[in-house]
């Protein structure tokens, strides 16, 4: 989870005042408010998965943390 917090949920450019600095490096250093934000993100993510998979029994998903938005440019990677 640390990678996701550092690079995706709260990248440096989105945290110019460094409010997430300690939380990003160690989740035990997150404030109660930051933990609420992370938990809300988790619950929203799980809800989106449930909605997307509703009623489907033989489906899979590839969930990529996409730390570099161009890492999957070649479309033929998945063909």
Q: In 3D, which of 59, 45, 10, 61 has the Cα closest to residue 31?
A: 10
Give the confidence band of 3 by pLDDT, cuts at 50, 70, 90. low
At 38 the pLDDT is 87
**Residue range 21-55, pLDDT digits in tens:** 888 888 889 999 999 988 998 898 888 888 877 77
Of residues 44 and 13, more confidently modeled? 44
Question: Residue 31 and residue 36: Cα distance in Å, rounded?
Answer: 9
* pTM of the entire predicted model: 0.62
Residue 38 token pair: 């992370």
Q: Is the per-residue pLDDT at 60 higher than 50? A: yes
- Mean pLDDT (the chain, rounded): 75
Host domain of residue 57: 2-78
Residue 79 token pair: 């063909």
- Domain total in the chain: 1
């Amino acid at each position: 989870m640390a990678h996701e917090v550092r690079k995706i949920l709260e990248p440096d450019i989105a945290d110019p005042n460094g409010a997430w600095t300690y939380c990003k490096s160690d989740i035990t250093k997150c404030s109660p408010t930051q933990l609420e934000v992370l938990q809300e993100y988790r619950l929203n993510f799980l809800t989106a998965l449930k909605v997307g998979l509703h009623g489907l029994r033989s489906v899979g998903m590839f969930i990529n943390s996409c730390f570099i938005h161009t890492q999957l440019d070649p479309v033929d990677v998945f063909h």
